[in-house]
Each structure stands twice: as C-alpha cells, then as structure tokens.
C-alpha cells in the first residue's frame, strides 16, 4: 500500500530529490550489516532502564567476556553496552580486551555522555563514534531519566568531534512516538562541529518497556523530519538506520526515504530497492554497519 501524501509533502520530497541529485552521484548504498559484530561492555546490564529500551536490546549483543571467540572473522565491531546512572557507557572498563579485539578490525563505538578522560582512553581503538543526539530537555528526562540537558549532549558531542569522526544519530519519535526534540536537534547540529553522516532512527515500541503500548510516529511525520534533514544538510550523507519498525511500516517508509534523498538504508524493504532502480540509482550493497 502506498501512503497518500499531502501536496506540500510531495513537493518537499521533490525538492529533496533535486538537492540530492545536485550534491551526490546517482547511487545509493544498501547496508546489510551481517559482518559487524555487536559487543556489549556490560552484558545485559544497564543502570538507566530507559523508557524506550529497558535493556532489551542488550540481550541480543555479545558480552565482552566472550567476544573474542564469537567475533572471529568479523571485519568490524560495534562496541556498546548499558549506561551508568549518569548516562555513560563504561568504555574504559575493558581496554585490554578491546585492544585485542581491535587488531585488524574497525570499531564503531556507542559511548553515551562520557567525559574527556574516557575519550582519551579509547582513542587508540576508535574508527567512528555513533552518538545519540537529543534536542529537548523534557525528552531527555522522560526517556532516559537523566537530569542532563541538551547542553550536556552538545558538550559531549563537541568533545568527541575534536578527537574522532562522529556520526550523530537522531531517533524520530523517541518520546513515546511523539515528535518534539527532532527539529531542535537538527537545528542545533547545524551550528556545531561538522559531520559527514547523519543517521535517522525511528522508535520501535518494544515489549517490556514503558513505551510498549505506544505507537511509532506516523510515516508522514518521519518523512517530514528526514526531508528537513536533507534540506538542512544538502551535502552531508543521510542514512536510514537499522532501528525502525518492520513489516508494512518499513515497506511504506523506505521508498519515501529514497524520495527524500537519503544516501543509504539499512536492510531496505523491497519497494525501496525497486524505486531506487526506477530512479536510475546505482545500488551498492555493503555488509557492515552503515557508519563504517
């Protein structure tokens, strides 16, 4: 089923497509990240129990203690884990293991609100940082239960950007499916350290979390935000990342993301592949994390 668009949104998508064509070659990357191992520094433990996750996603990661045996042959790793009560992933807790794992591999890190000392400690092992950026204090408090503010996220982002390649991640509908932080986040990012890739995610209401009974944002709302990102960052790569609802939701969203000018999609729905072909985009398939 094709989502009916308002004339205003349809016109915006045409502008986005023109912007994409003016700034990028006629190609699109489809990422199928089967070759990136996903490692948790904290196992299934997290001190925050966030409203959208409640440590559910940690259960699918490889604990750092057994990672060496289980990631043999993987050319890249995502190093993540649960956060402490201040929103920091304990990135420096297993540096000896990380040093071994890093040999011959590229590492993408999810770090949370770490400080300068932790940034320096992991510096020898970082290829890129995936940083979840939030643009509204109320969203930070409700979702993460933190007393942190947008200014804290800005400070950490800037500190990371001075040292590393950083790919900001923005979850659309993070606050229980409601929009609010997304446009402020995009506007704030536009005035900070430059990045080469912006990753959009979409809330997945997940069993066992405070948002289990919520609905994701509407597809039209998601597409509006992606389009705003394309127009605000005309020459930066935009990715539609792995965290977004599956099934019919994805089948409707993904081709609209193509129309909105994204440069890459993780595990795209078939209608997006078909539309890319129809629009003359050369399809490049890759098998690692979309920011690597």
Q: What is the pLDDT of residue 1?
A: 57
**In order along the chain (292 residues), what is the average pLDDT of each group of 10 residues?**
86 98 98 98 94 94 96 97 97 96 97 98 98 98 97 98 98 98 98 96 97 97 98 98 98 98 98 98 98 97
Pairing of the two strands 36-40 and 76-80: parallel
Spatial contact of 279 and 248, defined as CB atoms under 8 Å apart: no
Query: Tokens at residue 92, please?
Result: 């420096």
> pTM of the predicted model, to two decimals?
0.97
Q: Enumerate the domain spans of the chain.
A: 7-286
d(CA 292, CA 290): 6
Q: What is the pLDDT of residue 2?
A: 66
d(CA 22, CA 25): 8
d(CA 21, CA 179): 29
- Among 126, 47, 121, 129, residue whose Cα is nearest residue 82: 47
| CATH class held by domain 7-286 | alpha beta
């Amino acid at each position: 089923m094709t989502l009916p668009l308002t004339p205003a949104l349809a016109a915006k998508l045409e502008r986005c497509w023109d912007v994409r064509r003016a700034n990028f070659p006629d190609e699109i990357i489809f990422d199928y990240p089967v070759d990136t191992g996903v490692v948790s520094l904290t196992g299934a433990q997290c001190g925050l129990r966030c409203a959208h996750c409640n440590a559910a996603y940690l259960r699918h990661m490889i604990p750092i203690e057994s990672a060496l045996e289980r990631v043999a042959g993987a050319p890249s790793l995502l190093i993540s884990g649960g956060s402490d009560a201040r929103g920091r992933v304990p990135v420096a807790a297993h540096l000896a293991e990380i040093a071994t794992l890093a040999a011959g591999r590229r590492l993408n890190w999810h770090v949370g609100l770490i400080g300068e000392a932790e940034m320096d400690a992991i510096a020898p092992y970082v290829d890129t940082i995936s940083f979840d950026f939030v643009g509204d204090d109320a969203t930070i408090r409700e979702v993460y239960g933190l007393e942190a503010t947008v200014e804290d996220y800005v400070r950490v982002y800037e500190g990371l950007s001075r040292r590393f390649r950083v790919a900001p991640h923005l979850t659309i509908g993070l606050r229980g499916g409601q929009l609010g932080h997304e446009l402020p986040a995009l506007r704030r990012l536009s005035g900070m350290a430059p990045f080469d890739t912006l990753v959009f995610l979409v809330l997945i209401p997940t069993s066992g979390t405070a948002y289990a009974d919520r609905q994701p944002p509407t597809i039209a709302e998601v597409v509006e935000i992606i389009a705003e990102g394309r127009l605000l960052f005309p020459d930066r790569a935009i990715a539609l990342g792995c965290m977004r609802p599956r099934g019919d939701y994805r089948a409707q969203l993904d081709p609209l993301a193509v129309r909105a000018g994204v440069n890459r999609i993780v595990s795209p729905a078939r209608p997006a592949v078909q539309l890319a072909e129809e629009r003359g985009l050369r399809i490049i398939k890759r098998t690692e994390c979309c920011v690597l």
